[in-house]
């Protein structure tokens, strides 16, 4: 995909006849002396780096620190006897993701090249896990992957039958979110797990997703508030946005974890996680508001004039005409911001949470795994990358979905 | 040139006044005096064409009729309702006044059909089925029934402008305002839009059109007015206006466009 490649021109094929790889290399890599030298030097550097990396991965690194702590990395100290709940959650998410993918791709092919490569890599990882972890885990993961793929095919059929389902997807996912949250958290007839006891990737995902879901509407409201005709609303929005944007996230997190309890009356206790999520949400909302405002301003004035001339009231003009176009225009920016919010959850480690980075640090302080920094952080890197890349893929799908037939 | 034809299809013009603008004055940014006391009365079923040089305030003037522009002095009465600053009042008037813009201003994120049904559904509170039935009839009338499920970006300029006319008509307005509806179109598409406007005029719709289409004005208009520097300079029947204008400024303007 050209968008992820820093040098799209190097990848894009000539528009006319196909040429052989040799001819292609000759034309693009060895066209003259300086080019040839550049190519050789670059190839050398790449080979040297790749050799070093592979050498480290396969001969020097000691991966027991990962395989022995896999559960800690992923679900942290979630009670062992309740492990069926995270697994069920994974199943539900895989099933819904597959269905959604299928519904969105109802009139195109299900998997393009990138999709197939991603699927292949996931399957390979699932298979490879059999050795260090256990055959059962590996089979379970493969089964879930299978469910997801089957769901994608089913979703395509369902989408063809009920095309209007697409507009319900956001609401459906909100419902799924509450089900998943209820399963993790417990309550009602399930044994309760305190939010503050969550850790590992589970905590990272929980804080990131909740902050993303909450900061979106808040950010949109702030953006609208900033353009409001009511001076009170406008000044409050501007004040909030500018104050938050003037503070580093880490100070907001420190305030939420240290200051808030001091300010609140002693009998009111708010979970630490909830306070941290509030901090992340407010921070993200302020930036989101500015992005959305950019989108709002990019809509030509003729749009709202035409809508007003049709007799639509001001709120309807905003909701039906301006916002849909503005949000569509800023999807890439918004997703970029959500990706960075996801990565920013790693700052929670500094204020004492055991999310992915925090649990990594506590694993590293275990005397059995002293000094295994490189392995642990390499593993964290891969996890963060996978999550962020998944978001990027989803956003591209969303853009294509919304972009069909317009402009 | 089409004298005989015009006479036979000229619809009835009653003397019921649906637009009464009295001494309307407007300043932009408190210093630019764009409308300097403009008065115009339009009867039911009448077609008034507004002409004038660029920047003379034509758009500003007709946009005061549906409160897209405010004004500081004078009064405007639409279909018996005085235009005030009250939001309810403004929305009531906008329901009765349709407007077609130079740049079409279709909603690019909605299909043609949804563009047309939007305000009947949300403002008139019609059930979706009724709104769609009416919309499809209108789209057929303007000759783009087959495009109903496309997005505006997939249509030609002329088709888009016809959708815009259908969208305005869907609210069943009593008055239609046109602000240079053909100025952004390629020459070969001007005709299809003018045809639709002509049919509309013959059906008895009250219309105020800002346009430089002399042929259209001659054939369809009941009155032509010339606006210059925020003042209505001349008001006459098309024959008089084009054949022997009284005012010097009209003569100068006509010599430039004819
Ligand atoms: N929002 C605004 N603020 C300040 N001045 C404006 C604004 N809109 C228009 N004007 C000025 O008011 C004058 C009249 O504008 P208007 O658009 O009504 O002219 P017009 O007769 O429709 O011209 P055209 O034939 O070019 O459309 C112009 O000189 C224009 O520069
Ligand atoms: Mg104009």
Mean local confidence (pLDDT), B149-155: 94
**Atom 31 (ligand 1): residue with closest C-alpha?**
B55
What is the pLDDT at residue A2? 40
What is the pLDDT at residue B12? 56
Count of domains forming chain A = 1
- Whether residue B161 is predicted with pLDDT greater than 90 in this model: the reply is yes
Provide the pLDDT confidence category of residue A195 given band limits of 50, 70 and 90. Answer: confident
Mean of per-residue pLDDT scores for chain A = 87
Provide the residue range defining the domain that includes A38. 23-60
User: Is A7 contained in some domain?
Assistant: no
Q: Is B122 in the pocket of ligand 1 (CB under 6 A)?
A: no
Mean local confidence (pLDDT), A368-383: 89
* B150 contact residues in A (CB cutoff 8 A): 405
Give the percent of chain B with pLDDT over 70.
95
Q: How many CB atoms lie within 10 A of CB A173?
A: 14
Whether A333 contacts A341, CB under 8 Å: no
Provide the pLDDT confidence category of residue A17 given band limits of 50, 70 and 90. Answer: low
What is the pLDDT at residue A45? 94
- Whether residue A332 is predicted with pLDDT greater than 60 in this model: the reply is yes
Please indicate whether, in this complex, the C-beta atoms of B153 and A307 are within 8 angstroms of each other. no
What is the pLDDT at residue B227? 96
* A312 contact residues in B (CB cutoff 8 A): 118-119, 122-123
CA nearest A137: which of A70, A77, A73, A78?
Answer: A70
What is the pLDDT at residue B2? 43
What is the pLDDT at residue B6? 44
Provide the pLDDT confidence category of residue B1 given band limits of 50, 70 and 90. Answer: very low
Mean local confidence (pLDDT), A365-386: 89
- Whether residue B176 is predicted with pLDDT greater than 90 in this model: the reply is yes
Mean local confidence (pLDDT), B200-224: 95
What is the pLDDT at residue A13? 52
Beta bridge partner(s), residue B234: B226
User: Is A123 contained in some domain?
Assistant: no
Mean of per-residue pLDDT scores for chain B = 92
**Atom 11 (ligand 1): residue with closest C-alpha?**
B55
Provide the pLDDT confidence category of residue A6 given band limits of 50, 70 and 90. Answer: very low
Mean local confidence (pLDDT), B174-192: 94
Which of A74-78, A140-144, A302-306 tops mean pLDDT?
A302-306
Question: DSSP class of residue A369?
Answer: G
User: Is A33 contained in some domain?
Assistant: yes
Residues in B 151-190 with any Cβ partner in A closer than 8 A: 151, 153-154, 164, 167-168, 171
d(CA A206, CA A200): 10
- Whether residue A76 is predicted with pLDDT greater than 50 in this model: the reply is yes
Q: Is B29 in the pocket of ligand 1 (CB under 6 A)?
A: yes
User: Is A222 contained in some domain?
Assistant: no
Give the model confidence (pLDDT) of A197-229 as tens digits.
Answer: 888 999 999 999 999 999 999 999 999 999 998
Q: Is B160 in the pocket of ligand 1 (CB under 6 A)?
A: no
Q: How many CB atoms lie within 10 A of CB A328?
A: 17
Which residue of B lies nearest to A316 if distances are taken between CA atoms? Answer: B122
Q: What backbone torsions phi and psi does residue B188 show, to the nearest 5 degrees?
A: -70, -10
- Whether residue B27 is predicted with pLDDT greater than 90 in this model: the reply is yes
Show the CA angle centred on residue B151, arms to residues B145 and B156, nearest 5°.
Answer: 70
User: Is A38 contained in some domain?
Assistant: yes
Q: Is B54 in the pocket of ligand 1 (CB under 6 A)?
A: yes
User: Is A40 contained in some domain?
Assistant: yes
What is the pLDDT at residue B104? 95
Provide the pLDDT confidence category of residue A129 given band limits of 50, 70 and 90. Answer: confident
Output the six-digit token pair for B116: 């047309």
- Whether residue A12 is predicted with pLDDT greater than 60 in this model: the reply is no
Please give the distance, rounded to the nearest whole angstrom, from the Cα atom of residue A169 to the centre of ligand 1.
45
Residues 6+ apart with CB under 8 A from A103: A155, A156, A158, A159, A165, A166, A169
Lowest mean pLDDT among A6-10, A52-56, B247-251: A6-10
Task: Give the minimum alpha-carbon distance from A101 to chain B in angstroms, rounded to a whole number.
Answer: 22
Q: How many CB atoms lie within 10 A of CB A407?
A: 10
Whether A28 contacts A339, CB under 8 Å: no
- Whether residue B141 is predicted with pLDDT greater than 60 in this model: the reply is yes
Give the model confidence (pLDDT) of A92-120 as tens digits.
Answer: 999 999 998 888 888 777 777 878 888 88
- Whether residue B171 is predicted with pLDDT greater than 60 in this model: the reply is yes
Mean local confidence (pLDDT), B20-24: 95
pTM of the model: 0.84
What is the pLDDT at residue A11? 53
CA nearest A364: which of A22, A17, A73?
Answer: A73
Provide the pLDDT confidence category of residue A191 given band limits of 50, 70 and 90. Answer: confident
What is the pLDDT at residue A5? 44
What is the pLDDT at residue B87? 82
Which residue of A lies nearest to B94 if distances are taken between CA atoms? Answer: A311
What is the pLDDT at residue A66? 84
Q: Using DSSP, state whether B239 is helix, strand or coil.
A: helix
What is the pLDDT at residue A135? 84
Output the six-digit token pair for B104: 């079409």
């Amino acid at each position: 995909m050209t968008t992820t490649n820093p040098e799209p021109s190097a990848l894009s094929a000539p528009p006319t006849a196909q040429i052989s790889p040799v001819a292609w290399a000759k034309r693009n890599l060895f066209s003259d002396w300086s080019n040839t030298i550049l190519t050789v030097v670059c190839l050398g550097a790449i080979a040297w780096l790749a050799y070093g990396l592979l050498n480290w991965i396969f001969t020097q690194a000691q991966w027991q620190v990962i395989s022995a702590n896999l559960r800690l990395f992923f679900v942290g100290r979630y009670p062992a006897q309740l492990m069926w709940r995270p697994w069920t959650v994974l199943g539900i998410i895989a099933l819904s993701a597959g269905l959604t993918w299928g519904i969105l791709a109802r009139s195109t092919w299900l998997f393009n090249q990138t999709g197939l490569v991603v699927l292949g890599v996931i399957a390979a990882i699932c298979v490879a896990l059999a050795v260090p972890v256990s055959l059962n885990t590996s089979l379970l993961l493969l089964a879930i992957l299978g469910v997801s793929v089957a769901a994608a095919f089913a979703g395509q059929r369902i989408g063809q039958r009920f095309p209007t389902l697409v507009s319900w997807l956001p609401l459906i996912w909100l419902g799924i979110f509450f089900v998943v949250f209820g399963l993790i958290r417990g309550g009602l007839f399930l044994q309760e797990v305190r939010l503050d006891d969550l850790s590992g990737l589970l905590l990272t995902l929980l804080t990131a997703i909740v902050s993303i879901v909450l900061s979106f509407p808040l950010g949109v409201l702030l953006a609208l508030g900033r353009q409001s005709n009511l001076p009170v609303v406008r000044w409050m929005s501007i004040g909030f946005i500018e104050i938050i944007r003037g503070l580093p996230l880490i100070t907001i997190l420190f305030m939420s974890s240290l200051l808030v309890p001091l300010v609140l009356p002693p009998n009111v206790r708010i979970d630490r996680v909830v306070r941290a999520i509030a901090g992340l949400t407010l921070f993200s909302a302020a930036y989101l508001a500015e992005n959305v405002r950019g989108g709002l301003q990019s809509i030509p004035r003729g749009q709202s004039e035409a809508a007003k001339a049709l007799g639509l009231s001001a709120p309807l003009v905003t909701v039906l005409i301006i916002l849909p176009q503005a949000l569509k225009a800023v999807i890439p920016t918004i997703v970029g911001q959500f990706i960075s919010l996801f990565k920013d959850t790693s700052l929670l480690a500094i204020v004492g949470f055991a999310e992915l980075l925090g649990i990594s640090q506590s694993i590293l302080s275990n005397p059995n795994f002293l000094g295994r920094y490189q392995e642990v952080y390499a593993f964290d890197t891969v996890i963060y990358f996978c999550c962020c890349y998944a978001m990027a893929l989803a956003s591209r799908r969303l853009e294509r979905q919304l972009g069909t037939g317009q402009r | 040139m089409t004298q005989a034809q015009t006479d036979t299809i000229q619809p009835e013009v009653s003397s019921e006044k649906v637009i009464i603008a009295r001494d309307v004055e407007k300043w932009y940014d408190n210093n630019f005096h764009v409308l300097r006391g403009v008065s115009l009365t339009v009867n039911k079923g009448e077609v008034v064409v507004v002409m004038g040089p660029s920047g003379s305030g034509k758009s500003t003037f007709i946009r005061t009729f549906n409160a897209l522009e405010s004004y500081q002095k004078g009064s405007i009465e639409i279909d018996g309702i005085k235009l005030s600053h009250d939001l309810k009042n403004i929305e009531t008037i906008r329901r009765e006044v349709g407007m077609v813009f130079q740049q079409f201003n279709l909603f690019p994120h909605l299909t043609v059909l949804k563009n047309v049904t939007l305000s009947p559904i949300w403002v008139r509170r019609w059930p979706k089925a009724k709104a769609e039935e009416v919309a499809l009839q209108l789209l057929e009338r303007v000759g783009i029934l087959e495009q109903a499920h496309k997005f505006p970006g997939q249509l030609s300029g002329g088709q888009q402008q016809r959708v815009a006319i259908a969208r305005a008509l869907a609210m069943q307005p009593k008055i239609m305002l046109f602000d240079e509806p053909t100025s952004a179109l390629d020459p070969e598409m001007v005709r299809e839009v003018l045809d639709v406007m002509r049919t509309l005029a013959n059906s008895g719709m009250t219309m105020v059109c800002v346009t430089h289409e002399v042929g259209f004005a001659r054939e369809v208009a009941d009155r032509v007015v010339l606006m210059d520097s925020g003042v209505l300079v001349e008001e006459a029947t098309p024959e008089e206006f084009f054949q022997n204008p009284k005012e010097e400024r009209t003569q100068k303007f006509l010599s430039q466009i004819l």
